[in-house]
Amino acid sequence: MIVITEFVQTKKALKIDMFTEYSARAITESIPEGGSVTTCEIHEESAALARQYFARSPHGKKISIHVGSALKTIRELRGPFDLVFIDADMINYVNYYRHAKISAVA
C-alpha cells in the first residue's frame, strides 16, 4: 500500500472499509502534510477502535472516518481522489467502483 500511495503521489485518498485500520494508517503515513484520507466503515465498533489508534499516530489528523453505508457516504463525497482502495464486501465492489468514479470527477 505504501509503495502504491507514494508511486501515484497520493494527496487525497478514499479507503472503503477500514476494519482494523492497518491499510488506512499505511496510506496516511505515505501522504504528505496537507493530504487526507477519507474512510468508510460500517461498524461503529471498528471505527471506535481505529480512532484510538489514529489518536496515537502523528498522522492521525489526516484521516476522517465516516461510519455507515459506504455507498451512501461515497455519494455524498466530493473528489477527486488520487487513490481509491476498496476492501469491503465483495458483492458491492462494482457499485463502490462506479460511485467512486463518479465522486472522483464531481
3-class SS shares of the chain: helix, strand, coil, % to 5: 50, 20, 30
Amino acid (1-letter code) at residue 45: E
User: What gap in Å lies between CA 7 and CA 28, rounded to an integer?
Assistant: 14
Prediction pTM value: 0.84
pLDDT band, residue 34 (cuts 50/70/90): very high
User: What gap in Å lies between CA 29 and CA 16, rounded to an integer?
Assistant: 17
Length of the chain: 106
Give the pLDDT confidence of 40-72 residue by residue, as tens digits: 999 999 999 989 989 998 998 999 999 999 889
CATH architecture for the domain at 2-105: 3-Layer(aba) Sandwich (3.40)
Which residues are bridge partners to 65 per DSSP?
A: 39
